[in-house]
A and B are shown apart, each in its own frame.
Chain A
Amino acid sequence: MFVLIVGCGRVGSSVARSMLADGHTVSCLDQDPESHARLEVGLDTSWEDSGGQFTVGTALETQALEEAGVAKADAFVAATNGDNTNIVISQIAQRRYEVDTVIARILDPLRAEWYREQGLLTICPTRVAIEMLEDKLRRAADPTSLDAGTAEFADSPPAGGNE
């Protein structure tokens, strides 16, 4: 499938490399040309030679989104460092370009929760970190309840560390 990732920071670039390794077509959009270097971490060849695309531009610019291939994207990931930017561009991808799968990274748990209720697929790394910390502390407080909370992580993204 064609995956468009907006925001090429630690999260965006890692997901981009993994998706490319899985055999998907991957296009990245970031306003900072320097972020391109992040895509090539651990690669033997350049990002482009590996088959990836990279576009420089801001996420709200329609022209940049289109150049990066939003119209033909099957999946859209909003992973810029701005929650509001991610929320707005996800809705643009959903409503204007009718991308099938749209995922927004939202750091603020309250905003993430409300937009999830509105039908947006959201990932909230902060929420995951809070739950993991709470779980670790509860285990420390009561070592006999080792099973407490483990089940709820089964569906959570393997996050936290690379935030």
Chain B
Amino acid sequence: MYVIVAGAGKVGVNLTRELLGQGHEVTLIENRRQRYQGIEQLLEHNILYGDASELWVLERAGIERAEMVIAVTGDDEDNILICQVAKEKYGISRIIARVNNPSNRSHFDLLGIKPVVSATELILRLLEHEVPHHKLVHLLDLEEEEIEIIEIRLDEKSPVVGRTVGDLDTPDNTLVISIIRDGRGMVPNATTVFQAGDDILAVLDPQREEELKQIFTPS
């Protein structure tokens, strides 16, 4: 696959190296002269000097035949513009944009730039998983497909403790898929009994989240 990567920061360079290692053809574009010179030797003909938000630079990189454009510069407006142009002007259907400042996330959404990757958001999410602030943690959100996987911690006050999975009256479009007990995951059956301290994994339609939460947590 031919991939164009915009921005040769640490993310861009490592990504390019990995993609090359996997046998893909990659052009990395960098507009800071010094940075470009610093990695030119490492990447040789796989790096191009120029501003990836200039159309002629993208054309020079061969955007017409690119199958994917990844914008990982340190500027959110540049990443938005590069992806917007790639998608709308050059018809590249596969794009990935990096969000530097999570508060700019809504701008990417507004302009139809997706999927996006935000290291800050990812770390915050991991942090939430490790040190749950709430009893409910999102493990996976597929917004487009309207499905998510959540984790709920049961404490001793949970109304389901002592009851079996089969006893539950769970709403449509929700399913308990796993129970993590004492650090080990298992796939429950109808006779499995919930215990305090269990982490419940459930797959569900995001709209059902509140209903499911009511079932597992004390009101």
* Chain A residues within 8 Å of B, Cβ to Cβ: 60-62, 82-85, 87-88, 91-92, 95-96, 108, 110-111, 114, 118
Q: List 30 A-B contacts (CB under 8 A).
A: A60-B77, A60-B104, A60-B107, A62-B106, A82-B77, A84-B53, A84-B75, A84-B77, A84-B81, A85-B77, A87-B77, A87-B81, A88-B77, A88-B80, A88-B81, A88-B111, A91-B110, A91-B111, A92-B107, A92-B110, A95-B110, A108-B54, A110-B55, A111-B53, A111-B54, A111-B55, A111-B85, A114-B55, A114-B89, A118-B88
Q: Does B78 contact A (CB under 8 A)?
A: yes
How many residue pairs at the A-B interface have CB separations less than 8 Å? 44
**How far is the CB of B84 from the nearest CB of chain A, in Å?**
8
Q: Which residue of B lies closest to A117 (CB)?
A: B89
Q: In the assembled complex, how far is the CB of residue A58 from the closest CB belonging to chain B, in whole angstroms?
A: 10
B54–A114 touching, CB < 8 Å: no
Q: Does B103 interact with chain A (Cβ within 8 Å)?
A: yes
The 8 A-B pairs with the shortest beta carbon distances in the complex, nearest first, are A84-B77, A84-B81, A110-B55, A88-B77, A85-B77, A84-B78, A88-B80, A84-B53
Main secondary structure of the interface of B (DSSP, over half): helix
Cβ distance A110 to chain B, nearest Cβ, rounded Å: 5
Give the residue among B88, B106, B107 with the most A Cβ atoms within 10 A: B107
**A60: chain B residues within 8 A (beta carbon):** 76-77, 101, 104, 107
Given A84-B81, A114-B85, CB of A96 within 8 Å of CB of B54: no
Task: Please give the number of chain B residues whose Cβ is less than 8 angstroms from any Cβ of chain A in the complex.
Answer: 20
Q: Which residues in A have their C-beta under 8 angstroms from that of B106?
A: 62
A61 CA / B105 CA spacing, docked (Å) = 11
Which residues does chain A contribute within 8 Å of B107, judged by CB atoms?
60, 88, 92
A77 to chain B, nearest CB (A): 17
- Name the distance in Å between B133's Cβ and chain A's nearest Cβ: 24
> Using a CB-CB cutoff of 8 Å, which residues 31-56 of chain B contact chain A?
53-56
* B contact residues around A85 at 8 Å (CB): 77
User: Complex formed: what's the CA distance from A60 to B110 in Å?
Assistant: 13
A83 neighbours in B (Cβ, 8 Å): 53
Residue of B nearest to A91 (CB): B111
A108–B56 CA distance with the chains assembled, in angstroms: 11
- In whole angstroms, what is the CA distance A60 to B88 when docked? 22
Per-residue A-contact encoding for B47-84, CB less than 8 Å = 1, 0 else: 00000011110000000000000000001111011000
Contact residues in B for A108 (Cβ distance below 8 Å):
54
Contacts of B110 in A (CB 8 A): 91-92, 95-96
**Complex interface: chain B residues within 8 A of A118 (CB):** 88
- In the assembled complex, the Cα of A62 lies from the Cα of B56 at a distance in Å of 31
Given the complex, which residues of A lie within 8 Å of B89, measured CB to CB? 114
A36–B171 alpha-carbon span in the complex (Å) = 58
Q: Which A residues touch B76, using CB under 8 A?
A: 60
Give A124 to B95 CA distance when docked, in angstroms: 28
B46–chain A nearest beta-carbon distance, Å: 24
A82: B residues at CB distance < 8 A: 77
Q: Give complex CA distance A83, B78 in Å.
A: 9
Nearest-neighbour CB distance to chain A for B49, whole angstroms, equals 17
Bound Cα distance A118, B89 (Å) = 10
Closest to A86 in B: B77
Of A62, A92, A110, the residue contacting B54 (CB under 8 A) is A110
